[in-house]
Amino acid sequence: MSAEPATQRRRFTGPQGFLLAGSFLITLGSFAVLPYVSVLLHQRLGLGLGTVGFVLAVASLIQFAGGVVAGPVAARIGLRRSMLLALALRTAGFGAFVPGLTSPVLAIGALLLVSAGAALYLPANKAYLVAGSPDEDRPRLLSASSSAFNAGMALGPPAAAPLVLGSPGVLFTCVAGLFALVGVGHAFLPRDGARPVTVPDRPTSADGPRSGLSPFLVTVVSVYAFMFFQHYLALYAVPRTSAGFYGVVLMGYAALLVVAQPLLAEWIAALSYPAALRWGFGAMAAGMAAIAGGGHVGIA
């Protein structure tokens, strides 16, 4: 009986394992700060809610739409260099929040630096993570990456809660230090991941997209709709339940993503593109219908 190849026995390579751990730490640090930025800008620095909303909108635009620019930049300067530059921007941004505690200009500049760093990091991180991996391994890698990000999102806000109002300078200093340490680790990664692989051309069929335009447009519309609904869900849910109940639901939501995505990765990968859309958007439509009913069960 022939032994199973080492590449199949090994779940993740060393660089992949480091990136997954780094993704958790990066998101943990980010979400220890970012959910409370509106409190900092409004309550501590005295900016009006309209101004705060505009600043957060610009920061979100940079972070999510900036990938259009970040992708070509990463392709030009290399994946590892892009991640290092992104982490340097985010370290500087979180560090700038410390003097920004007394200066709206510095605080806003710090937020924009952090957002620019996030926009540059994510495309390079995803590309590096799957570089050299066969197609059948990529859903597992990407789902594990998503789980790491969601775990950090779930744990970041409660971890920072004791410090965010009483000692925000300590919080920002710790987060900047965390990003600096993660950045040092990235400097020891191989230059651009594993050896490149040649991806064969796939035939066009009725079961898949005919070009990259359709998935891109669907992603744009779905992320816009999801973020629009997510930002305002608390205003709907908390009065109908309670802040504590809503917090538990959000943590359960993040935990479900952490656990379920890796378990379902192979099943999802086997779906055709239209089937994946039907399952995904069908489930979200059913969930929105349940939320519309209000009450603890419907919102949960």
pLDDT score for 10: 55
**Residue 64 or residue 17, greater confidence:** 17
Which residues, 6+ apart, have CB-to-CB distance to 57 below 8 Å?
A: none
Helix (H) or strand (E) holding 58: helix 49-65
CATH superfamily, region 13-186? MFS general substrate transporter like domains (1.20.1250.20)
pLDDT range class, residue 61, cuts 50, 70, 90: confident
Residue 136 gets which letter from DSSP? G
Do residues 109 and 127 make contact, with C-beta atoms less than 8 angstroms apart? no
Do residues 23 and 125 make contact, with C-beta atoms less than 8 angstroms apart? yes
Q: What gap in Å lies between CA 59 and CA 49, rounded to an integer?
A: 15
CA torsion through residues 273, 277, 280, 283, sign: negative
pTM above threshold 0.85: no
pLDDT range class, residue 177, cuts 50, 70, 90: very high
Mean pLDDT over each residue of the chain, to the nearest integer: 81
Q: In this predicted model, what pLDDT tens digit does every residue of 98-128 receive, in sequence order? A: 998 889 999 999 999 999 999 999 889 999 9
Q: What gap in Å lies between CA 199 and CA 159, rounded to an integer?
A: 42
pLDDT range class, residue 174, cuts 50, 70, 90: very high
Q: In this predicted model, what pLDDT tens digit does every residue of 2-19 receive, in sequence order? A: 444 444 445 778 888 999
Which residues, 6+ apart, have CB-to-CB distance to 120 below 8 Å?
A: 66, 70, 73, 74, 82, 85, 86, 89
Domain positions in the chain are 13-186, 217-299
What is the average per-residue pLDDT within 287-294? 89
Q: In this predicted model, what pLDDT tens digit does every residue of 221-247 receive, in sequence order? A: 777 777 667 656 776 887 888 877 877
Q: What gap in Å lies between CA 229 and CA 48, rounded to an integer?
A: 23
Q: Which of 193-197, 209-213, 259-263 has the highest mean pLDDT?
A: 259-263
pLDDT score for 259: 83
Do residues 121 and 86 make contact, with C-beta atoms less than 8 angstroms apart? yes
Q: What gap in Å lies between CA 16 and CA 189, rounded to an integer?
A: 10
pLDDT score for 111: 92
Other Cβ atoms less than 10 A from the Cβ of 201: the count is 5
pLDDT score for 19: 92
Residue 85 gets which letter from DSSP? H
pLDDT score for 131: 87
**Rg of the chain taking only CA atoms, in angstroms:** 21
